[in-house]
Amino acid sequence: MRNLIRSTALAASVGLAGMAQAQDSKDITIALVPGLTTDAFYITMNRGAQAAAEALGITVNFQGAEEFDPVLQTPVLDAVIAGQPDAILIAPTDSTQMIEPLRRAHEQGIPVITVDTFIDDGKYQDGAGDGDFPMAYIASDNIGGGRMAARFMAEEIGGTGKVYVSNVRPGISTTDQREEGFMAEMAENYPDIEVLQTQYNENDASLAASQFNAVLARHPEIAGVFGANLFSALGAANGVEGAGKMDDVTVIAFDAPTSIVDNIESGLVDAAIAQHPAEIGYFGVMSAYALLTGQSVPVSIGTGFTVLNADNVGDEAIAKFIYSE
């Protein structure tokens, strides 16, 4: 935790009402607004946030929409702002559309920290862009995670062949970056692997499955699919299974809910890149607390990844990285 409170003080430069004065911890209430409330990733993040809250003796309220959608997240955020929490931790559901809703919190003197996803370019407190006002961004290095997926894919397919990314839609910071990292790693280090056009599925697993079939029809030799989120991966994997190509096509998923164990053990998915959402929630609350008690925090805090595959998915040491509800 020491690294959370050693940085040069940011509070005086922000101009947020009340930031310069430390608060009594027993009166601190922090709102955690997830991308959606029903996903094991965010449920696990909340578990880490609540652990931090318990250690600090403060209150963290978990409130969000049931779908990952800026249209649904905005009224939830408005209700949170109306309740005047001391700070807001939020996973914005769109990097552009959530700027103005979050600005309303900022203008009312409520410090904002984004977790998992970001607004604008994710580079805060630099005086550039419309969305530089959040105090910090705490998340996995999604570009690094995409690169990790590319390296594993390349190894599995022998460094040659055609692959593609199954993604949700443009504008979601995390999945955009995972795709970016995957493509950059392939372009820089695996010249014999051709990355085909990305398929966007709007988080619809059935559409992801049919998209695989369409790609297969155009490229019968397709060797791999990287799902930039779980629904993308599982949808594509179902397409692979339905086409009888499980032995020929490598599928890599991003994220690791409990169900991923069965998916890996059955061979439906070859590997999953597990984030550490409990750490994101824990560091998010600790960062907000540091700000509210007159300390300073880095504008960016990264958490790690663990690759799950058939060789380690049953290990007790790996079980802690599987998201649970």
155 pLDDT higher than 50: yes
Do residue 202 and residue 218 come from a single domain?
yes
* pLDDT class of 126 with cuts at 50, 70, 90: very high
Distance CA 138, CA 115 (A): 5
Among candidate residues 57, 51, 65, the one with its CA nearest the CA of residue 29: 57
pLDDT of 320: 86
pLDDT of 23: 54
Domain assignment present for 321 = no
* pLDDT class of 37 with cuts at 50, 70, 90: very high
Q: What is the mean pLDDT of the chain?
A: 91
Distance CA 1, CA 255 (A): 25
Q: How many domains does the chain have?
A: 2
66 pLDDT higher than 90: yes
Distance CA 257, CA 264 (A): 12
Do residue 119 and residue 196 come from a single domain?
no
8 pLDDT higher than 90: no
Residue 268 DSSP symbol? S
Do residue 257 and residue 297 come from a single domain?
no
pLDDT of 141: 92
- Mean pLDDT to the nearest integer, 226-238: 96
pLDDT of 25: 63
Domain assignment present for 8 = yes
Query: Is the CB of residue 239 less than 8 Å from the CB of residue 209?
Result: yes
Domain assignment present for 323 = no
Domain assignment present for 314 = no
pLDDT of 75: 98
Domain assignment present for 282 = yes
Angle, alpha carbons 211-212-213 (nearest 5°)? 90
* pLDDT class of 51 with cuts at 50, 70, 90: very high
26 pLDDT higher than 90: no
Among candidate residues 234, 242, 227, 235, the one with its CA nearest the CA of residue 262: 234
Decide: helix, strand or coil at residue 168.
Answer: coil
- Mean pLDDT to the nearest integer, 21-35: 80
Do residue 150 and residue 196 come from a single domain?
yes
- Mean pLDDT to the nearest integer, 103-124: 96
Do residue 267 and residue 280 come from a single domain?
no
Do residue 248 and residue 285 come from a single domain?
no
List, for residues 183-215, the tens digit of each pLDDT value.
999 999 999 999 999 999 999 999 999 999 999
22 pLDDT higher than 80: no
* pLDDT class of 10 with cuts at 50, 70, 90: very low
- Mean pLDDT to the nearest integer, 252-266: 93
- Mean pLDDT to the nearest integer, 246-261: 94
Q: Is 122 left (phi over 0), alpha (psi -120 to 50) or beta?
A: left
17 pLDDT higher than 90: no
Do residue 126 and residue 226 come from a single domain?
no
Do residue 154 and residue 259 come from a single domain?
yes
3 pLDDT higher than 50: no
Query: Is the CB of residue 251 less than 8 Å from the CB of residue 224?
Result: yes
pLDDT of 15: 34
Domain assignment present for 106 = yes
Domain that holds residue 183: 142-274
pLDDT of 6: 27
Do residue 72 and residue 151 come from a single domain?
no
Domain assignment present for 312 = no
Angle, alpha carbons 310-315-318 (nearest 5°)? 95
147 pLDDT higher than 80: yes
- Count of all residues that appear for the chain in the document: 325
* pLDDT class of 241 with cuts at 50, 70, 90: very high
**Structure-model confidence comparison of residues 6 and 166, the more confident one:** 166
* Domain CATH for 199: 3.40.50.2300
pLDDT of 86: 98
pLDDT of 319: 87
Alpha helices (runs of H) in 83-133, residue ranges in sequence order: 99-107
Do residue 164 and residue 268 come from a single domain?
yes
Residue 9 DSSP symbol? P
User: In 76-106, which positions are buried (b, 16+ CB within 10 angstroms) versus exposed (e)?
Assistant: bbeebbeeebbbbbbbbbbbebbbebbeebb
266 pLDDT higher than 90: yes
Do residue 264 and residue 299 come from a single domain?
no
Domain assignment present for 263 = yes
104 pLDDT higher than 90: yes
18 pLDDT higher than 50: no
Do residue 115 and residue 238 come from a single domain?
no
Distance CA 138, CA 30 (A): 15
